A and B are shown apart, each in its own frame.
Chain A
Amino acid sequence: MAERILMKGNEAIAEAAIRAGCRHYFGYPITPQTEIAAYMAKRMPKIGGVFLQAESEIASINMVYGAAAAGMRVMTSSSSPGISLKQEGLSYIAGSDVPALVVNVQRGGPGLGGIQPSQSDYFQATKGGGHGDYRTIVLAPASVQEMASLTIKGFDLADKYLMTAMILADGTIGQMMEPITFEDAEIKTYDKPWALTGTEGKRKHNIVNSLYLKPDELEKKNFERFEKYAEIEKCEAMWEDYMMEDAEICVVAFGIASRVAKNAVAAARSEGIKVGLIRPITLWPFPNKAFEAAENVKAFISVELSMGQMIEDVRLATGCRKPVTLCNRTGGMIPSPDEILEAIRNAGKGV
């Protein structure tokens, strides 16, 4: 078995990206994700890769766009305010159907907000962010090990479906260290006949473009893209069930919130409350199937580091037939296990 090493979540993302074959990173410093850039700056030159600190988040995402169009596995990373700046590029990447990996180690907002952990970019990540009809695959790691495995998965999904995969982490998972093992993951590679390589006089020119001045053509393109999205919704949803077998109350939480929620669920179980946890690992596609299976659950609690964003998807997943309450902190605060336990007890009273 591979050796267990201690690593920061941010560093695990960077190392996993390199192992996934990423040799091009373009970024701009922002707390609390700068370790990713620092790691890349150190490693890339030694393995024949490129690390480039761009003049802005806007430039960095457009460098990603260019590199992706050139057929490379490429990534950028940032934190909330920087991700807002990248939305323009994300929309162009979506409209041009090129693959990229984008990491958001979230901090509190809106505006400059704070630098402490948050999950308040859920809407931005899962509902679009930039302009136009498009989707982003959103992966939500809850451990340092998952920071690595979902990074590798993210590159694969991006290449497979020719779109952006986003790692939606938060300051806690980014900054914390946990043991991690790098198994020799099988890295799939994909043919990219559409890539900009130069025609070498052997083929018609490739054009990477998101402009369609004829509305019927743009509509057709959007329809096609949404057929692809439907396929992703069908095949790629991931989640973890925790103590769900006989659960009557279900906590829904992702990322760091799910870690705290697990403590609360365990504590509530010791009080005899039949409670479980659904942890979405993909936020888009949202794991609706997990909720279909939870038909015995009488009440749901959405635990979030935001004013309640995922709760809307939880309500949709339950067909609005079950009560869904919110247990949340925001602005960089994290709920304590006791706060969640109290929410579980309250939900239990209604059951």
Chain B
Amino acid sequence: MKTTQILIAGFGGQGILFSGKFLAYKGLTEELQVSWLPSYGPEMRGGTANCNVILSDTPVGSPIITTPDVLIAMNLPSLQKYVDSVSAGGQIYVDSSLIDAKVERDDVEVFYIPATQLAKDEGIGTLANMVIVGHLLEKHPELSFDGVEAVIEKLVPPKKAALKELNMKALMLGKTYGN
């Protein structure tokens, strides 16, 4: 049984839910079992947002993640809140252009990506989330970058076709970062 539990956390407006949706759709196209659970309510308006995504080759039990295998932290409060919950051997992806702190655990793999800066430099400042997702797909042993175009195709409405290319650009930025 292979199950990957991904917790994405940050501010409202950083595309937290969208990047979660992207990963869920990715799993769907790979015939995996998936669940996507957002935080909801007033805290979404400018406060913290988070999103639980589970990808599994067996039916998903609880959609609520208590010990994530993967944490994507898009701001400092989110990193502080969830850093200790990540399972031993798990991965943490940190947007290092927004978070100065370092992870003080040696039983997890940590990736520091200046995602917001990378995105800004390319004129796609709002797509830092997808930069990190690109990096995650490249680095995580159970996930793969293959087929991202089809997922973008599915998620971005035809009216906003221009966004497809920009999302692809962000994913590629993340994929190639550090190479």
Contacts and interface: CB of A to CB of B under 8 A. Distances in A.
B63 A172 contact: yes
A336 interface: yes
Contacts, number: 63
B41 A259 contact: no
Contacts of A38: none
Interface in B1-42: 21, 24-25, 28, 33-38, 40-42
B46 interface: no
A338 B41 CA distance: 26
A260 B36 CA distance: 15
Given A178-B60, A260-B64, A115 B40 contact: yes
B62 A337 contact: yes
A175 interface: yes
B53 to A, nearest CB: 9
Given A115-B41, A175-B40, A336 B66 contact: yes
Given A4-B28, A32-B41, A115-B41, A263 B35 contact: no
A263 B62 CA distance: 7
Interface string B61-76: 1111010000000000
A262 interface: yes
B28 A337 contact: no
A32 B40 CA distance: 8
A175 B40 CA distance: 8
B25 to A, nearest CB: 6
A96 interface: no
Given A6-B28, A178-B60, A171 B40 contact: yes
Given A116-B41, A172-B37, A259 B61 contact: yes
A334 B66 CA distance: 11
Among A6, A260, A334: residue with most chain B CB under 10 A: A6
Contacts of B25: 6
B10 to A, nearest CB: 18
Interface in A104-156: 115-116
Contact of B66 (A175, A266, A338): A338
Contacts of B21: 6, 177
A263 B41 CA distance: 27
Nearest to B35: A178
B35 A176 contact: yes
A266 B21 CA distance: 28
A179 interface: yes
Contact of B40 (A31, A262, A334, A337): A31
B24 A6 contact: yes
A116 B21 CA distance: 21
A176 B52 CA distance: 9
Given A172-B64, A259-B63, A262-B61, A179 B41 contact: no
A262 B41 contact: no
A179 B33 contact: yes
Contacts of B40: 31-32, 115, 171, 175
Contacts of B33: 179
Contacts of A32: 40-41
Contact of A177 (B36, B41, B42): B36
A87 to B, nearest CB: 25
Contacts of A260: 61-62, 64
Nearest to A266: B61
Contacts of B35: 176-178
A6 B34 contact: yes
Nearest to B32: A179
A242 B140 CA distance: 33
A192 B4 CA distance: 51
A176 B28 contact: no
Contacts of B61: 259-260, 262-263, 266, 337
Contacts of A171: 40
Nearest to A31: B41
Contacts of B60: 178, 259
Interface in A236-277: 256, 259-260, 262-263, 266
A296 B38 CA distance: 40
16 contacts: A4-B28, A6-B28, A6-B34, A31-B40, A171-B40, A172-B37, A175-B40, A176-B35, A176-B36, A176-B38, A177-B35, A256-B63, A260-B62, A266-B61, A337-B66, A338-B66
Closest 7 CB pairs of A and B: A177-B36, A263-B61, A260-B62, A176-B37, A262-B61, A115-B41, A259-B62
Interface of A: 4, 6, 31-32, 115-116, 171-172, 175-179, 256, 259-260, 262-263, 266, 334, 336-338
Interface of B: 21, 24-25, 28, 33-38, 40-42, 60-64, 66
Given A6-B34, A259-B60, 6 more contacts: A6-B21, A177-B35, A179-B28, A259-B63, A262-B62, A263-B62
